[in-house]
Structure 1
């Protein structure tokens, strides 16, 4: 599971507070602060693009679900008018669940839709890469 930006920030706050104590070993302090700096950079990058990625994915998922309507009825449409990350992520999870159901239904039956689903999942992963991504 990928931690959310708020969870990372809470963890960083704890690290900063713990390392403010004068009796912390300097080597441990340097290690914790270096990790904290790196995580803050990744959190900033993730925070800046999170809403954009979720909106783009939700649109792509809806398009795929509409194409597969002959196999699985698409989920009930929700107006995407709440752009809080929590709301966008909840809708993304709902659509991903429906996309899994569609992928199971089309596997071996409709390679065009199946390939399009996997292409979007790959694109989704690529969009979410950060500067520090290993791959």
Structure 2
């Protein structure tokens, strides 16, 4: 992996670590209620953990995303930085034609304008996704419906 990509990966990891630490330290004072569990038959599940209604602004959004087995997204771009932390399973994302395989505990990112595709294998995957600014997270949640089982 080129040095530039390692630097970006290290910065993204540091960002997620700092965000997580700040949220944990301030948990008693700032414990936003997660949004409802959303579902999309083809795309899996989504729960927005932090977004504009809770923050009072669109600076950042975070969501827990569940992908079904054998999932393959259409190629797309983002206007925000998208940071992906794999909570469980194996997750592949193809960024500008280069495939990255992320296992549990690994971090990936997509910069604004990058062409990306997300993919899972035979097993489902769960990720924590962070968007900076948060507009892409809000856009993702549109078109999903509340899951009555949750």
TM over 0.5: no
**Which structure carries more helix by proportion?**
1
Structure 1 or 2, whichever has the larger Rg, is: 1
**Which structure carries more strand by proportion?**
2
TM-score normalised to structure 2 length: 0.26
TM-score normalised to structure 1 length: 0.28
